[in-house]
Amino acid sequence: MTKKFNVAVVGATGAVGTEMMHLLEERRFPVKNFYAVASSRSKGKKAFFNKEEYTIQALDEFSFENIDIVFSSPGGAVSKKYVPRAVSEGAVVIDNTSAFRHDPAVPLVVPEVNPEAAARHHGLLANPNCSTIQMVVALHPLRELSRIKRVVVSTYQAVSGSGTKAIFELEDQVQSFVDGGDLVNKEYPHQIAFNCLPHIDVFQDNLYSKEEMKMVNETRKIFEDEEVMVSATAVRVPVFRGHSEAIWVETEEKIDPEKARRALKESPAIVVQDEPEKNIYPLAVNCRHQDPVYVGRIREDISCSNGLVMWVVADNIRKGAALNTVQIAELLVHKKLL
């Protein structure tokens, strides 16, 4: 008989928390008792899981003593405050925020890439940044052919990565543009409708943004290779859902594009869409609510002797956040790491 677990979703009213609940249902995760948890503002509201209604409980009043697994996505500052308490009360926490990703004692896990890292957990595992997840999933099959020396990536990230308010801002700006009204900026420093903003999160002393440096540091941690060189430019684009990335990768040994294409096709996490002569390549509009990472435009980098270029697209809310978190939990169950 399959063991079942007491499960809490923290941040249950957010886009990622809601997606987590859908995936736990869809993938038939072995849930014994379920708890929906959010901020005190949402206390008393209703959430639905497995066709049952649950009353949302306030995080600051919630006890984790009888919880086996916590799926956490309430924001970094909140996670820093409550996650240590949840772990001390005996729960295993899979945190989807940036709060613990760079802690050397906390495994940063993408199950298709570094499942072995999960065994090193001490009650807490971290989910990488959404843009990092889809990139390392696409890079991993190439990395098995030859060590990766250098990665240059430009991201084209959907507004849903900023949260629900950003989605509404894009909707409102598009409507205002059509109606001839004024476009109001609240979530972003500039108009996002019909525009591209090379600015995600705050800029650091080295003039890279925090989002860009997440991709640098998280890739090194996941690959357990501090020498791999990574440079990122993160751009917010007027797309509701689905991140796109142009990736240049340099390897120690030359990889033929056809060999790379075959290796990518063999990965169960990847769908290769690479027939540009037929206008077939990954598109953000087609990846919404889908599990895979989509890869196309695979070609030789003509500026580098051992280089490849590819175009990578994934649903940032699903694979980039909720799905990867659920997959980590499935890995813990399968490997009896709980």
**CATH code for the domain in which residue 265 is found:** 3.30.360.10
130 is catalytic: yes
Same domain? 145 vs 75: no
C-alpha 228/C-alpha 151 separation (Å) is 8
Q: From first to last of its 338 residues, what are the pLDDT tens digits of the chain? A: 689 999 999 999 999 999 999 999 999 999 999 999 999 999 999 999 999 999 999 999 999 999 999 999 998 999 999 999 999 999 999 999 999 999 999 999 999 999 999 999 999 999 999 999 999 999 999 999 999 999 999 999 999 999 999 999 999 999 999 999 999 999 999 999 999 999 999 999 999 999 999 999 999 999 999 999 999 999 999 999 999 999 999 999 999 999 999 999 999 999 999 999 999 999 999 999 999 999 999 999 999 999 999 999 999 999 999 999 999 999 999 999 99
The SS3 call for residue 232 is strand
Full-prediction pTM beyond 0.85?
A: yes
Write b or e for each residue in 8-22: b if 16 or more Cβ atoms lie within 10 A of its Cβ, otherwise e: bbbbbbbbbbbbbbb
CATH number of the domain enclosing 99: 3.40.50.720
Same domain? 202 vs 176: yes
C-alpha 103/C-alpha 115 separation (Å) is 18
Same domain? 80 vs 156: no
C-alpha 263/C-alpha 277 separation (Å) is 21
190 is catalytic: no
Same domain? 188 vs 117: no
Same domain? 305 vs 161: yes
Domain hosting 276: range is 132-316
Task: Report whether 4 contacts 30 (CB < 8 A).
Answer: yes
Same domain? 308 vs 162: yes
Same domain? 35 vs 82: yes
Active-site option among 130, 190, 287, 334: 130
Same domain? 325 vs 312: no
C-alpha 60/C-alpha 159 separation (Å) is 29
How many domains, in total, are found in the chain?
2
Same domain? 272 vs 235: yes
Same domain? 37 vs 154: no
Same domain? 97 vs 142: no
Active-site option among 121, 140, 243, 287: 243
C-alpha 247/C-alpha 151 separation (Å) is 7
Task: Report whether 305 contacts 248 (CB < 8 A).
Answer: no
